[in-house]
A and B are shown apart, each in its own frame.
Chain A
Protein backbone atom coordinates (compact mmCIF):
# COMPACT_ATOMS: atom_id res chain seq x y z
CA UNK A 1 0.00 0.00 0.00
CA UNK A 2 1.17 3.49 -0.75
CA UNK A 3 0.69 6.16 1.86
CA UNK A 4 1.30 9.88 1.91
CA UNK A 5 2.73 11.47 5.01
CA UNK A 6 1.49 15.06 5.00
CA UNK A 7 3.63 17.46 7.00
CA UNK A 8 1.80 20.19 8.88
CA UNK A 9 3.52 22.87 10.90
CA UNK A 10 3.08 26.47 11.96
CA UNK A 11 4.68 28.25 9.05
CA UNK A 12 5.58 31.28 11.18
CA UNK A 13 7.67 29.05 13.43
CA UNK A 14 9.42 27.33 10.54
CA UNK A 15 10.12 30.68 8.87
CA UNK A 16 11.63 31.88 12.17
CA UNK A 17 14.26 29.12 12.06
CA UNK A 18 17.68 30.48 11.26
CA UNK A 19 19.39 29.04 8.20
CA UNK A 20 21.64 27.01 10.50
CA UNK A 21 18.63 25.55 12.31
CA UNK A 22 16.85 24.78 9.04
CA UNK A 23 19.99 23.14 7.64
CA UNK A 24 20.35 21.05 10.80
CA UNK A 25 16.75 19.81 10.55
CA UNK A 26 17.18 18.99 6.86
CA UNK A 27 20.43 17.14 7.56
CA UNK A 28 18.72 15.00 10.21
CA UNK A 29 15.78 14.35 7.87
CA UNK A 30 18.13 13.34 5.06
CA UNK A 31 19.53 10.57 7.23
CA UNK A 32 16.02 9.17 7.57
CA UNK A 33 15.37 9.67 3.84
CA UNK A 34 18.51 7.76 2.90
CA UNK A 35 17.59 4.85 5.10
CA UNK A 36 14.06 4.72 3.64
CA UNK A 37 15.37 4.99 0.09
CA UNK A 38 17.88 2.19 0.70
CA UNK A 39 14.99 -0.03 1.84
CA UNK A 40 12.95 0.87 -1.24
CA UNK A 41 10.28 2.54 0.88
CA UNK A 42 10.63 6.12 -0.35
CA UNK A 43 8.65 7.65 -3.20
CA UNK A 44 8.58 11.36 -4.15
CA UNK A 45 9.35 13.89 -1.41
CA UNK A 46 8.05 17.43 -1.69
CA UNK A 47 8.79 20.53 0.37
CA UNK A 48 6.44 23.39 -0.47
CA UNK A 49 7.17 27.11 -0.62
CA UNK A 50 5.35 29.22 2.04
CA UNK A 51 1.58 29.63 1.71
CA UNK A 52 2.10 33.31 0.82
CA UNK A 53 3.09 32.02 -2.64
CA UNK A 54 -0.14 30.01 -2.92
CA UNK A 55 -3.02 30.74 -5.28
CA UNK A 56 -6.48 29.21 -4.89
CA UNK A 57 -9.01 28.48 -7.61
CA UNK A 58 -12.51 28.64 -6.14
CA UNK A 59 -14.98 26.55 -8.08
CA UNK A 60 -18.12 27.65 -6.24
CA UNK A 61 -18.93 30.04 -9.06
CA UNK A 62 -18.71 30.15 -12.81
CA UNK A 63 -16.19 31.03 -14.07
CA UNK A 64 -14.06 29.89 -11.12
CA UNK A 65 -12.43 32.66 -9.12
CA UNK A 66 -8.65 32.84 -8.76
CA UNK A 67 -7.66 34.31 -5.41
CA UNK A 68 -4.40 34.82 -3.54
CA UNK A 69 -3.48 32.69 -0.60
CA UNK A 70 -4.02 29.14 0.58
CA UNK A 71 -7.35 27.34 0.56
CA UNK A 72 -7.93 27.70 4.28
CA UNK A 73 -6.59 29.85 7.08
CA UNK A 74 -5.38 27.44 9.70
CA UNK A 75 -2.92 27.54 12.57
CA UNK A 76 -0.82 24.84 10.93
CA UNK A 77 -0.13 24.74 7.22
CA UNK A 78 0.68 21.95 4.78
CA UNK A 79 4.40 22.48 4.23
CA UNK A 80 5.30 19.31 2.36
CA UNK A 81 4.61 15.61 1.90
CA UNK A 82 6.15 12.20 1.37
CA UNK A 83 4.98 9.23 -0.62
CA UNK A 84 6.03 5.98 1.05
CA UNK A 85 5.60 2.32 0.22
CA UNK A 86 4.55 0.35 3.27
CA UNK A 87 3.05 -3.04 4.06
CA UNK A 88 0.96 -1.74 6.92
CA UNK A 89 -0.32 1.46 8.49
CA UNK A 90 1.83 0.53 11.47
CA UNK A 91 4.94 0.76 9.32
CA UNK A 92 3.91 4.14 7.86
CA UNK A 93 3.26 5.43 11.36
CA UNK A 94 6.72 4.28 12.43
CA UNK A 95 8.24 6.20 9.54
CA UNK A 96 6.29 9.32 10.56
CA UNK A 97 7.56 8.81 14.11
CA UNK A 98 11.12 8.65 12.89
CA UNK A 99 10.69 11.77 10.74
CA UNK A 100 9.10 13.49 13.72
CA UNK A 101 12.15 12.86 15.86
CA UNK A 102 14.30 14.63 13.25
CA UNK A 103 11.93 17.56 12.86
CA UNK A 104 10.76 19.53 15.93
CA UNK A 105 7.12 20.60 16.26
CA UNK A 106 4.16 20.29 13.92
CA UNK A 107 2.33 17.06 13.09
CA UNK A 108 2.03 14.42 10.37
CA UNK A 109 -1.13 13.14 8.75
CA UNK A 110 -0.85 9.62 7.32
CA UNK A 111 -3.25 9.01 4.44
CA UNK A 112 -3.48 5.98 2.13
CA UNK A 113 -3.17 6.84 -1.55
CA UNK A 114 -6.12 6.09 -3.85
CA UNK A 115 -4.46 6.95 -7.15
CA UNK A 116 -0.81 7.58 -7.88
CA UNK A 117 0.01 8.83 -11.35
CA UNK A 118 3.54 9.64 -12.39
CA UNK A 119 3.55 11.00 -15.93
CA UNK A 120 7.23 11.77 -15.51
CA UNK A 121 7.15 15.40 -16.67
CA UNK A 122 7.74 17.06 -13.32
CA UNK A 123 11.23 16.93 -11.93
Chain B
Protein backbone atom coordinates (compact mmCIF):
# COMPACT_ATOMS: atom_id res chain seq x y z
CA UNK B 1 0.00 0.00 0.00
CA UNK B 2 1.25 3.50 -0.83
CA UNK B 3 1.51 6.28 1.76
CA UNK B 4 -1.60 8.01 0.45
CA UNK B 5 -3.53 4.75 0.52
CA UNK B 6 -2.79 3.72 4.09
CA UNK B 7 -3.14 7.27 5.37
CA UNK B 8 -6.46 7.46 3.50
CA UNK B 9 -7.63 4.31 5.28
CA UNK B 10 -6.55 5.56 8.70
CA UNK B 11 -8.23 8.94 8.08
CA UNK B 12 -11.40 7.20 6.96
CA UNK B 13 -11.47 5.01 10.06
CA UNK B 14 -10.76 7.90 12.44
CA UNK B 15 -13.10 10.32 10.72
CA UNK B 16 -16.38 9.71 12.59
CA UNK B 17 -14.78 10.03 16.02
CA UNK B 18 -12.68 13.07 15.07
CA UNK B 19 -15.50 14.86 13.26
CA UNK B 20 -17.84 14.14 16.16
CA UNK B 21 -15.46 15.65 18.74
CA UNK B 22 -14.79 18.68 16.53
CA UNK B 23 -18.51 19.21 16.12
CA UNK B 24 -18.99 19.18 19.89
CA UNK B 25 -16.15 21.64 20.26
CA UNK B 26 -17.20 24.16 17.59
CA UNK B 27 -20.94 23.42 17.53
CA UNK B 28 -20.93 24.14 13.83
CA UNK B 29 -20.77 21.56 11.05
CA UNK B 30 -18.95 23.79 8.59
CA UNK B 31 -16.18 24.73 11.04
CA UNK B 32 -15.80 21.11 12.17
CA UNK B 33 -15.48 19.95 8.58
CA UNK B 34 -12.87 22.58 7.74
CA UNK B 35 -10.93 21.69 10.88
CA UNK B 36 -10.92 18.00 9.95
CA UNK B 37 -9.90 18.87 6.39
CA UNK B 38 -6.96 20.90 7.62
CA UNK B 39 -5.92 18.17 10.07
CA UNK B 40 -6.06 15.60 7.25
CA UNK B 41 -3.81 17.74 5.06
CA UNK B 42 -1.29 18.02 7.88
CA UNK B 43 -1.49 14.26 8.44
CA UNK B 44 -0.64 13.65 4.79
CA UNK B 45 2.47 15.82 5.25
CA UNK B 46 3.53 14.57 8.68
CA UNK B 47 2.67 10.86 8.80
CA UNK B 48 4.80 9.56 5.91
CA UNK B 49 7.86 10.93 7.78
CA UNK B 50 6.88 10.14 11.37
CA UNK B 51 4.58 7.18 10.91
CA UNK B 52 0.98 7.21 12.10
CA UNK B 53 0.36 8.45 15.64
CA UNK B 54 -0.60 5.90 18.25
CA UNK B 55 -4.13 7.32 18.36
CA UNK B 56 -5.02 8.81 14.99
CA UNK B 57 -8.39 10.21 16.06
CA UNK B 58 -6.92 12.05 19.07
CA UNK B 59 -4.15 13.49 16.84
CA UNK B 60 -6.69 14.73 14.29
CA UNK B 61 -8.90 16.24 16.99
CA UNK B 62 -6.01 18.17 18.58
CA UNK B 63 -4.51 19.37 15.30
CA UNK B 64 -7.90 20.18 13.80
CA UNK B 65 -8.98 22.08 16.87
CA UNK B 66 -5.82 24.20 16.94
CA UNK B 67 -5.91 24.87 13.21
CA UNK B 68 -9.52 26.03 13.34
CA UNK B 69 -8.90 28.27 16.32
CA UNK B 70 -5.93 29.82 14.48
CA UNK B 71 -8.13 30.41 11.47
CA UNK B 72 -10.87 32.00 13.54
CA UNK B 73 -8.26 34.21 15.21
CA UNK B 74 -6.86 35.35 11.86
CA UNK B 75 -10.31 36.12 10.48
CA UNK B 76 -11.39 38.19 13.44
CA UNK B 77 -8.37 40.43 13.84
CA UNK B 78 -10.67 43.34 14.61
CA UNK B 79 -12.60 41.47 17.27
CA UNK B 80 -11.06 40.52 20.61
CA UNK B 81 -9.00 37.33 20.72
CA UNK B 82 -10.68 34.23 22.13
CA UNK B 83 -9.85 33.47 25.74
CA UNK B 84 -6.36 32.05 26.12
CA UNK B 85 -7.55 28.65 27.30
CA UNK B 86 -9.16 28.03 23.91
CA UNK B 87 -5.91 28.57 22.00
CA UNK B 88 -4.22 25.47 23.33
CA UNK B 89 -0.71 24.88 22.03
CA UNK B 90 -0.81 21.13 22.35
CA UNK B 91 0.85 21.24 25.74
CA UNK B 92 1.31 17.67 26.92
CA UNK B 93 -0.78 17.81 30.06
CA UNK B 94 -3.53 19.60 28.24
CA UNK B 95 -3.64 17.26 25.29
CA UNK B 96 -3.79 14.30 27.59
CA UNK B 97 -6.67 15.88 29.40
CA UNK B 98 -8.45 16.66 26.15
CA UNK B 99 -7.90 13.09 24.99
CA UNK B 100 -9.44 11.68 28.15
CA UNK B 101 -12.38 14.04 27.81
CA UNK B 102 -12.91 13.04 24.19
CA UNK B 103 -12.68 9.35 25.00
CA UNK B 104 -15.37 9.57 27.65
CA UNK B 105 -17.68 11.48 25.32
CA UNK B 106 -17.01 9.81 22.05
CA UNK B 107 -20.03 7.55 22.10
CA UNK B 108 -22.51 10.40 22.46
CA UNK B 109 -20.37 12.54 20.14
CA UNK B 110 -20.62 10.08 17.28
CA UNK B 111 -24.29 9.45 17.93
CA UNK B 112 -24.85 13.23 17.83
CA UNK B 113 -22.90 13.57 14.59
CA UNK B 114 -24.99 10.82 13.03
CA UNK B 115 -28.15 12.25 14.49
CA UNK B 116 -27.39 15.73 13.11
CA UNK B 117 -27.22 14.17 9.65
CA UNK B 118 -30.48 12.34 10.34
CA UNK B 119 -32.20 15.52 11.49
CA UNK B 120 -35.96 15.04 11.17
CA UNK B 121 -36.26 18.38 9.38
CA UNK B 122 -34.26 17.02 6.45
CA UNK B 123 -35.89 14.99 3.68
CA UNK B 124 -34.56 11.42 3.49
CA UNK B 125 -32.45 11.99 0.37
CA UNK B 126 -30.66 14.89 2.08
CA UNK B 127 -30.14 12.87 5.27
CA UNK B 128 -28.36 10.10 3.40
CA UNK B 129 -26.28 12.47 1.28
CA UNK B 130 -25.21 14.46 4.34
CA UNK B 131 -24.29 11.35 6.33
CA UNK B 132 -22.13 10.11 3.46
CA UNK B 133 -20.39 13.47 3.13
CA UNK B 134 -19.94 14.29 6.82
CA UNK B 135 -19.60 10.94 8.59
CA UNK B 136 -18.21 8.68 5.88
CA UNK B 137 -16.20 11.42 4.19
CA UNK B 138 -17.13 10.40 0.65
CA UNK B 139 -16.47 13.13 -1.92
CA UNK B 140 -19.40 14.90 -3.56
CA UNK B 141 -18.39 13.25 -6.84
CA UNK B 142 -18.48 9.78 -5.25
CA UNK B 143 -21.89 10.41 -3.69
CA UNK B 144 -23.25 11.81 -6.96
CA UNK B 145 -22.07 8.71 -8.82
CA UNK B 146 -23.68 6.42 -6.24
CA UNK B 147 -27.01 8.23 -6.55
CA UNK B 148 -26.66 8.41 -10.34
CA UNK B 149 -27.13 12.19 -10.37
CA UNK B 150 -24.86 15.01 -11.56
CA UNK B 151 -22.16 16.38 -9.29
CA UNK B 152 -23.70 19.86 -9.40
CA UNK B 153 -27.09 18.52 -8.29
CA UNK B 154 -25.49 16.62 -5.40
CA UNK B 155 -23.42 19.64 -4.38
CA UNK B 156 -26.62 21.64 -4.20
CA UNK B 157 -28.42 18.95 -2.22
CA UNK B 158 -25.66 18.82 0.38
CA UNK B 159 -25.35 22.60 0.63
CA UNK B 160 -29.08 22.87 1.17
CA UNK B 161 -28.97 20.20 3.87
CA UNK B 162 -26.14 21.98 5.69
CA UNK B 163 -27.99 25.27 5.57
CA UNK B 164 -31.04 23.65 7.13
CA UNK B 165 -28.95 22.05 9.86
CA UNK B 166 -27.30 25.38 10.67
CA UNK B 167 -30.73 26.97 11.04
CA UNK B 168 -32.20 24.11 13.04
CA UNK B 169 -31.43 23.59 16.68
CA UNK B 170 -29.01 20.80 17.47
CA UNK B 171 -28.99 19.48 21.02
CA UNK B 172 -25.45 19.50 22.44
CA UNK B 173 -26.14 18.46 26.00
CA UNK B 174 -25.56 14.80 26.86
CA UNK B 175 -28.74 12.92 26.00
CA UNK B 176 -30.80 11.02 28.55
CA UNK B 177 -31.61 7.33 28.15
CA UNK B 178 -34.91 7.85 26.33
CA UNK B 179 -33.48 10.48 24.04
CA UNK B 180 -30.47 8.29 23.33
CA UNK B 181 -32.63 5.38 22.25
CA UNK B 182 -34.75 7.67 20.08
CA UNK B 183 -31.63 9.00 18.39
CA UNK B 184 -30.37 5.49 17.92
CA UNK B 185 -33.61 4.46 16.23
CA UNK B 186 -33.48 7.48 13.89
CA UNK B 187 -29.87 6.73 12.99
CA UNK B 188 -30.67 3.06 12.36
CA UNK B 189 -33.49 4.13 10.05
CA UNK B 190 -31.22 6.32 7.95
CA UNK B 191 -28.50 3.66 7.77
CA UNK B 192 -31.05 1.18 6.43
CA UNK B 193 -32.35 3.78 3.98
CA UNK B 194 -28.80 4.26 2.76
CA UNK B 195 -28.41 0.51 2.35
CA UNK B 196 -31.63 0.21 0.37
CA UNK B 197 -30.65 3.08 -1.86
CA UNK B 198 -27.63 1.02 -2.89
CA UNK B 199 -29.42 -2.31 -2.89
CA UNK B 200 -32.37 -1.41 -5.09
CA UNK B 201 -30.46 0.66 -7.61
CA UNK B 202 -27.40 -1.51 -7.95
CA UNK B 203 -26.92 -2.85 -11.43
CA UNK B 204 -24.20 -5.22 -12.46
CA UNK B 205 -22.28 -2.81 -14.71
CA UNK B 206 -22.10 -0.12 -12.09
CA UNK B 207 -20.24 -0.71 -8.82
CA UNK B 208 -21.01 2.77 -7.47
CA UNK B 209 -24.41 2.08 -5.84
CA UNK B 210 -23.05 -1.11 -4.23
CA UNK B 211 -20.56 1.14 -2.41
CA UNK B 212 -23.58 2.60 -0.57
CA UNK B 213 -24.34 -0.86 0.81
CA UNK B 214 -20.77 -1.28 2.00
CA UNK B 215 -20.83 2.16 3.60
CA UNK B 216 -24.12 1.37 5.36
CA UNK B 217 -22.59 -1.82 6.78
CA UNK B 218 -19.52 0.10 7.93
CA UNK B 219 -21.72 2.65 9.72
CA UNK B 220 -23.74 -0.14 11.33
CA UNK B 221 -20.51 -1.73 12.60
CA UNK B 222 -19.51 1.67 13.98
CA UNK B 223 -22.82 2.11 15.83
CA UNK B 224 -22.71 -1.48 17.03
CA UNK B 225 -19.23 -0.89 18.43
CA UNK B 226 -20.66 2.05 20.40
CA UNK B 227 -23.76 0.19 21.57
CA UNK B 228 -22.63 -3.44 21.70
CA UNK B 229 -25.68 -4.68 23.61
CA UNK B 230 -28.48 -3.31 21.41
CA UNK B 231 -30.23 -6.28 19.75
CA UNK B 232 -31.93 -4.13 17.11
CA UNK B 233 -28.57 -2.70 16.00
CA UNK B 234 -27.25 -6.27 15.79
CA UNK B 235 -30.35 -7.11 13.74
CA UNK B 236 -29.85 -4.15 11.42
CA UNK B 237 -26.18 -4.97 10.85
CA UNK B 238 -26.97 -8.66 10.31
CA UNK B 239 -29.83 -7.90 7.94
CA UNK B 240 -27.63 -5.77 5.71
CA UNK B 241 -24.70 -8.20 5.82
CA UNK B 242 -26.87 -11.18 4.91
CA UNK B 243 -28.50 -9.32 2.05
CA UNK B 244 -25.29 -7.82 0.75
CA UNK B 245 -23.60 -11.24 0.93
CA UNK B 246 -25.71 -12.20 -2.08
CA UNK B 247 -24.52 -9.23 -4.16
CA UNK B 248 -22.01 -11.23 -6.27
CA UNK B 249 -24.82 -13.58 -7.40
CA UNK B 250 -27.66 -11.11 -7.92
CA UNK B 251 -26.91 -10.33 -11.56
CA UNK B 252 -25.73 -12.50 -14.41
CA UNK B 253 -22.95 -11.65 -16.86
CA UNK B 254 -25.41 -9.67 -19.00
CA UNK B 255 -26.57 -7.63 -16.02
CA UNK B 256 -29.93 -9.41 -15.75
CA UNK B 257 -31.51 -10.00 -12.35
CA UNK B 258 -30.99 -13.51 -10.99
CA UNK B 259 -33.75 -14.41 -8.54
CA UNK B 260 -32.81 -15.72 -5.11
CA UNK B 261 -33.89 -19.27 -6.01
CA UNK B 262 -31.70 -19.33 -9.12
CA UNK B 263 -28.61 -17.72 -7.59
CA UNK B 264 -25.31 -19.56 -7.49
CA UNK B 265 -24.93 -19.81 -3.73
CA UNK B 266 -21.25 -20.63 -4.00
CA UNK B 267 -20.79 -16.98 -4.99
CA UNK B 268 -22.39 -15.63 -1.82
CA UNK B 269 -19.87 -13.98 0.49
CA UNK B 270 -19.08 -16.49 3.24
CA UNK B 271 -17.43 -14.07 5.69
CA UNK B 272 -20.42 -11.68 5.51
CA UNK B 273 -22.84 -14.57 6.06
CA UNK B 274 -20.82 -15.84 9.02
CA UNK B 275 -20.77 -12.37 10.58
CA UNK B 276 -24.48 -11.84 9.94
CA UNK B 277 -25.49 -15.22 11.38
CA UNK B 278 -23.31 -14.63 14.45
CA UNK B 279 -25.05 -11.31 15.07
CA UNK B 280 -28.55 -12.78 14.62
CA UNK B 281 -27.69 -15.43 17.18
CA UNK B 282 -26.35 -12.84 19.62
CA UNK B 283 -29.43 -10.64 19.18
CA UNK B 284 -31.86 -13.50 19.85
CA UNK B 285 -30.21 -14.09 23.22
CA UNK B 286 -31.62 -10.75 24.43
CA UNK B 287 -35.24 -11.82 23.85
CA UNK B 288 -36.17 -8.27 22.85
CA UNK B 289 -37.43 -8.85 19.32
CA UNK B 290 -37.70 -5.99 16.85
CA UNK B 291 -38.37 -5.47 13.18
CA UNK B 292 -34.71 -5.52 12.11
CA UNK B 293 -34.08 -8.73 14.01
CA UNK B 294 -37.06 -10.45 12.41
CA UNK B 295 -35.99 -9.36 8.94
CA UNK B 296 -32.47 -10.52 9.72
CA UNK B 297 -33.87 -13.86 10.86
CA UNK B 298 -35.65 -14.18 7.50
CA UNK B 299 -32.45 -13.37 5.63
CA UNK B 300 -30.67 -15.88 7.87
CA UNK B 301 -33.09 -18.64 6.80
CA UNK B 302 -32.12 -18.04 3.19
CA UNK B 303 -28.43 -17.87 4.06
CA UNK B 304 -28.58 -21.20 5.92
CA UNK B 305 -30.32 -23.10 3.11
CA UNK B 306 -27.75 -25.05 1.08
CA UNK B 307 -29.91 -24.60 -2.03
CA UNK B 308 -33.28 -23.05 -2.90
CA UNK B 309 -35.11 -26.37 -2.36
CA UNK B 310 -33.79 -26.60 1.20
CA UNK B 311 -35.37 -23.27 2.19
CA UNK B 312 -37.65 -23.54 5.23
CA UNK B 313 -40.56 -21.58 3.76
CA UNK B 314 -42.97 -22.29 6.59
CA UNK B 315 -40.46 -20.77 9.05
CA UNK B 316 -40.11 -17.76 6.76
CA UNK B 317 -43.89 -17.48 6.57
CA UNK B 318 -44.09 -17.49 10.38
CA UNK B 319 -41.41 -14.81 10.62
CA UNK B 320 -43.25 -12.61 8.11
CA UNK B 321 -46.33 -13.16 10.27
CA UNK B 322 -44.41 -11.78 13.28
CA UNK B 323 -43.20 -8.83 11.20
CA UNK B 324 -46.74 -8.18 9.97
CA UNK B 325 -47.82 -8.00 13.59
CA UNK B 326 -45.03 -5.54 14.50
CA UNK B 327 -45.18 -3.42 11.37
CA UNK B 328 -48.45 -4.00 9.52
CA UNK B 329 -47.98 -3.05 5.87
CA UNK B 330 -49.29 -4.38 2.55
CA UNK B 331 -45.69 -4.97 1.39
CA UNK B 332 -45.02 -7.28 4.35
CA UNK B 333 -48.26 -9.15 3.62
CA UNK B 334 -47.16 -9.49 0.00
CA UNK B 335 -43.88 -11.01 1.16
CA UNK B 336 -45.69 -13.40 3.46
CA UNK B 337 -47.88 -14.42 0.50
CA UNK B 338 -44.76 -15.29 -1.49
CA UNK B 339 -43.64 -17.54 1.39
CA UNK B 340 -47.14 -19.07 1.53
CA UNK B 341 -47.02 -19.81 -2.20
CA UNK B 342 -43.78 -21.76 -1.67
CA UNK B 343 -45.01 -23.52 1.44
CA UNK B 344 -48.57 -24.34 0.46
CA UNK B 345 -49.19 -23.33 -3.13
CA UNK B 346 -50.12 -20.35 -5.27
CA UNK B 347 -53.90 -20.58 -4.83
CA UNK B 348 -53.80 -19.62 -1.16
CA UNK B 349 -51.23 -16.91 -1.89
CA UNK B 350 -53.40 -15.41 -4.61
CA UNK B 351 -56.35 -15.18 -2.22
CA UNK B 352 -54.12 -13.52 0.36
CA UNK B 353 -53.01 -10.70 -1.93
CA UNK B 354 -56.43 -10.00 -3.43
CA UNK B 355 -57.26 -7.38 -0.74
CA UNK B 356 -53.91 -5.63 -1.47
CA UNK B 357 -54.78 -4.87 -5.10
CA UNK B 358 -55.86 -1.34 -4.33
CA UNK B 359 -53.04 -0.22 -2.04
CA UNK B 360 -50.26 -1.88 -4.08
CA UNK B 361 -51.59 -1.15 -7.58
CA UNK B 362 -48.59 1.08 -8.33
CA UNK B 363 -46.02 -1.40 -6.98
CA UNK B 364 -43.80 -3.36 -9.34
CA UNK B 365 -43.35 -6.35 -7.07
CA UNK B 366 -47.08 -6.77 -6.47
CA UNK B 367 -47.80 -7.34 -10.15
CA UNK B 368 -44.65 -9.40 -10.60
CA UNK B 369 -45.61 -11.73 -7.72
CA UNK B 370 -49.24 -11.88 -8.82
CA UNK B 371 -48.16 -12.80 -12.34
CA UNK B 372 -45.96 -15.57 -10.95
CA UNK B 373 -48.82 -16.97 -8.83
CA UNK B 374 -51.20 -16.89 -11.80
CA UNK B 375 -48.65 -18.58 -14.01
CA UNK B 376 -48.19 -21.34 -11.50
CA UNK B 377 -51.95 -21.87 -11.52
CA UNK B 378 -51.90 -22.15 -15.31
CA UNK B 379 -53.84 -18.93 -15.90
CA UNK B 380 -51.61 -17.70 -18.73
CA UNK B 381 -53.76 -14.78 -19.94
CA UNK B 382 -54.19 -13.31 -16.47
CA UNK B 383 -50.49 -13.80 -15.81
CA UNK B 384 -49.59 -11.96 -19.02
CA UNK B 385 -51.80 -9.06 -17.99
CA UNK B 386 -50.13 -8.83 -14.55
CA UNK B 387 -46.62 -9.01 -16.05
CA UNK B 388 -47.50 -6.21 -18.50
CA UNK B 389 -48.45 -4.03 -15.54
CA UNK B 390 -45.21 -4.96 -13.79
CA UNK B 391 -43.08 -3.96 -16.78
CA UNK B 392 -44.81 -0.60 -16.92
CA UNK B 393 -43.89 -0.05 -13.25
CA UNK B 394 -40.33 -1.43 -13.34
CA UNK B 395 -37.77 0.77 -11.57
CA UNK B 396 -34.71 -0.46 -13.43
CA UNK B 397 -34.05 -1.93 -16.89
CA UNK B 398 -32.94 -5.13 -15.14
CA UNK B 399 -36.36 -5.52 -13.48
CA UNK B 400 -38.17 -4.97 -16.77
CA UNK B 401 -35.90 -7.47 -18.54
CA UNK B 402 -36.59 -10.09 -15.89
CA UNK B 403 -40.38 -9.78 -16.30
CA UNK B 404 -40.03 -9.82 -20.08
CA UNK B 405 -38.28 -13.17 -19.76
CA UNK B 406 -41.21 -14.43 -17.73
CA UNK B 407 -43.56 -13.23 -20.47
CA UNK B 408 -41.51 -15.06 -23.08
CA UNK B 409 -41.77 -18.19 -20.96
CA UNK B 410 -45.57 -18.03 -21.14
CA UNK B 411 -45.52 -18.23 -24.94
CA UNK B 412 -43.14 -21.20 -24.85
CA UNK B 413 -44.45 -24.73 -24.42
CA UNK B 414 -44.99 -25.78 -20.83
CA UNK B 415 -42.05 -27.33 -19.03
CA UNK B 416 -39.52 -25.01 -20.62
CA UNK B 417 -39.83 -22.22 -18.14
CA UNK B 418 -36.74 -20.10 -17.72
Task: With A16-B13, A16-B218, A66-B285 as known contacts, state yes or no: A75 contacts B54, CB within 8 Å.
Answer: yes
Is the C-beta of B275 less than 8 angstroms from some C-beta in chain A?
A: yes
Check A52 against B9 for contact (C-beta < 8 Å).
no
Expressed in whole angstroms, the minimum distance between the Cβ of B139 and any Cβ of chain A is 15
Closest residue of B by beta carbon distance from A70: B228
Measured between beta carbons, the chain A residues less than 8 angstroms from B229 are: 67-69
Assembled-state Cα–Cα distance A49/B224 (Å): 14
Measured between beta carbons, the chain B residues less than 8 angstroms from A97 are: none
B41-63, CB < 8 A from A: 52, 54-55
Is the C-beta of A38 less than 8 angstroms from some C-beta in chain B?
A: no
A1-21, CB < 8 A from B: 10, 12-13, 15-19, 21
Expressed in whole angstroms, the minimum distance between the Cβ of A56 and any Cβ of chain B is 10
For B, the interface residue count at a CB cutoff of 8 angstroms equals 28
Assembled-state Cα–Cα distance A105/B285 (Å): 35
Q: Mark A68-105, 1 if CB is under 8 A from B, else 0.
A: 11000001000000000000000000000000000011
Task: With A15-B218, A15-B221, A66-B285 as known contacts, state yes or no: A53 contacts B275, CB within 8 Å.
Answer: yes
Check A10 against B13 for contact (C-beta < 8 Å).
yes
Assembled-state Cα–Cα distance A21/B10 (Å): 13
Is the C-beta of A50 less than 8 angstroms from some C-beta in chain B?
A: yes
Is the C-beta of A55 less than 8 angstroms from some C-beta in chain B?
A: yes
Is the C-beta of B274 less than 8 angstroms from some C-beta in chain A?
A: yes
Measured between beta carbons, the chain B residues less than 8 angstroms from A49 are: 271, 274-275, 278
Measured between beta carbons, the chain A residues less than 8 angstroms from B55 are: 75
Assembled-state Cα–Cα distance A49/B285 (Å): 19
Is the C-beta of B392 less than 8 angstroms from some C-beta in chain A?
A: no
Is the C-beta of B297 less than 8 angstroms from some C-beta in chain A?
A: no
Assembled-state Cα–Cα distance A62/B1 (Å): 49
Select which of B1, B13, B214, B278 is within 8 A of A12 by beta carbon.
B13
Expressed in whole angstroms, the minimum distance between the Cβ of A8 and any Cβ of chain B is 13
Check B282 against A12 for contact (C-beta < 8 Å).
no
Check A13 against B10 for contact (C-beta < 8 Å).
yes
Is the C-beta of B222 less than 8 angstroms from some C-beta in chain A?
A: yes
Assembled-state Cα–Cα distance A104/B282 (Å): 31
Closest residue of B by beta carbon distance from A104: B1
Assembled-state Cα–Cα distance A45/B335 (Å): 42
Check B228 against A52 for contact (C-beta < 8 Å).
yes
Is the C-beta of B237 less than 8 angstroms from some C-beta in chain A?
A: yes
Assembled-state Cα–Cα distance A18/B10 (Å): 13
Closest residue of A by beta carbon distance from B276: A53
Select which of B9, B228, B237, B279 is within 8 A of A69 by beta carbon.
B228
**Of B6, B9, B214, B278, most A-chain CB atoms within 10 Å:** B9
Ordered by A's residue number, 29 sampled pairs between the chains whose C-beta atoms are within 8 Å are A10-B13, A12-B13, A12-B222, A12-B225, A13-B9, A13-B10, A15-B13, A15-B221, A16-B12, A16-B218, A18-B214, A19-B214, A21-B1, A21-B5, A49-B271, A49-B278, A51-B225, A52-B221, A52-B224, A52-B228, A52-B279, A53-B275, A67-B229, A68-B228, A68-B282, A75-B54, A75-B55, A105-B10, A105-B52
Q: What are the 4 tightest A-B residue pairs by CB atom distance, in nearest-first order?
A: A69-B228, A12-B13, A53-B278, A68-B229
